[in-house]
Structure 1
Amino acid sequence: MSVAVLDADGHLIAFQKQDGASMLRFDIAFGKAYGALAVGFGSRWLDKASAERPHFVAGLNAVSGGRIVPVPGGVLVRDANGALLGAVGITGDTSDNDEAVAIAAVEAVGLVVQPS
């Protein structure tokens, strides 16, 4: 597993990867979290949008310099009052499992995951 944590402006706060994880894991985890912040929804929403409106997601990726990875595993993080704190992106398993781990991690530290 690899985990990227971004603040609300898309700046990296923390990154950690398992020993032996591939070199692209940073870019994938970052792209999932960055994509969630870019659209204001979890990256599962981007996954759905990429199937329904591929031109839209392609355009987002173009204007973001290719930083968006439109698959589940990126979630928005809010405090108890609903204020946006940032996003978490996780990769290393199936996208569904990546998302489940992200949700569990955010909730484990007492924060709130915004639904996709």
Structure 2
Amino acid sequence: MSLSLSQARAIIDTALEKGRADAAQPLAVVVLDAGAHPVACVREDGASLFRFDIATAKATGALGMGADTRIIAARAANNPAFFQSVVAATGGRLALSPGGVLIRDMEGPKAGNVIGAVGISGDTGDCDEACAVAGILAAGLFHGDSK
């Protein structure tokens, strides 16, 4: 299964709804397919200049490292030199903060396979991640390591 535009829009709409319900700062949301190609993205009014870039780095980093950015950030705390090298080697396409979440397929013979990632930036990493997870679940998909 590939990630559809309608699924990406459901992820974005629900993530933004959760952000508003939680009084989050303005968010940028990026949904990428498994090849790190953009499927859909938005930047709320008032989101600061780099929010789109950070959201993209979170989603791309999750795909590139094969884990949610919360897990990657924890690993980086124990091995900062390696992860600084990864950030440099990838041209900054890895953000070491929660809010980059893998999207997994729920159906078919390849259930559980990564089909994309969502990256959100604008509030705390915890808030960004919670909005991403809410969006993924609303689209009827798995997130991170959930199965």
Question: Same fold, TM exceeding 0.5?
Answer: yes
Aligned match of 2:118:
88
Paired letter, 2:84: A
| Pairs aligned (count) | 116
Superposed CA deviations along residues 20-74 of structure 1, whole A, max 9, x for unmatched, are: 1111111010011111001100000111122110011111111111111111000
Aligned match of 1:105:
135
**Please, what TM-score do these two structures have when normalized by structure 1?**
0.95
Q: Runs ≥4 in structure 1, deviation > 6 angstroms?
A: none
Aligned match of 1:76:
102
**Structure 2 unmatched runs, 5+:** 1-26
Q: CA deviation at 1:115?
A: 2.8
Aligned match of 2:14:
none
Which among 41, 55, 67 is matched to residue 81 of structure 2? 55
Paired letter, 1:4: V
Q: Which has the larger radius of gyration?
A: 2
**Structure 1 unmatched runs, 5+:** none
Which among 11, 15, 18 is matched to residue 37 of structure 2? 11
- Please state if 1:21 is matched with 2:85: no
Aligned match of 2:69:
43
The alignment's C-alpha RMSD in Å is 1.2
Paired letter, 1:57: F
Q: Percent identity between the aligned chains?
A: 48
Paired letter, 2:126: D
Q: Please give the secondary structure, in 1, of the residue aligned with 2:127.
A: helix
